[in-house]
Amino acid sequence: MDAKRQRESDLLRALVSVAEIVKIVGVSKTMVYDTKKKLEAGNSFERKPGSGATTKSSQMSSW
C-alpha cells in the first residue's frame, strides 16, 4: 500500500471528514471515496496477481 493510501485509510478510521483528508493528503475526493468503499467492504489495497498489461517479451514467445 502506498503512503498516501495508508494515510487516507488512517484518517478515515479516525473519522476525519473527506474534505479535510483531501486537504491533508492532497488527493481527489474520488480517491478518498474509493478508499472508503474498500475499507467498508474489507477489501485489500494490494494489486491482484495478473493485473496490468503483459510484457512484450511474453507476447512474442506465444507466437
In one-letter notation, the amino acid at residue 38 is K
Q: Which among 38, 42, 47, 33 is positioned nearest to 1, based on CA atoms?
A: 47
CA 62 to chain centroid: 32
Instruction: Please report the domains of the chain, with CATH numbers, ordered by start residue.
Output: 1-43 (1.10.10)
Looking at the whole model, is its pTM more than 0.85?
Answer: no
| pLDDT tens digits for range 4-43 | 888 999 999 999 999 999 999 999 999 999 999 988 888 7
Q: Which three cell numbers stand for residue 41?
A: 467492504
Count of Cβ atoms closer than 10 Å to residue 45 Cβ:
14
Say if CB 33 and CB 9 are below 8 A apart.
no
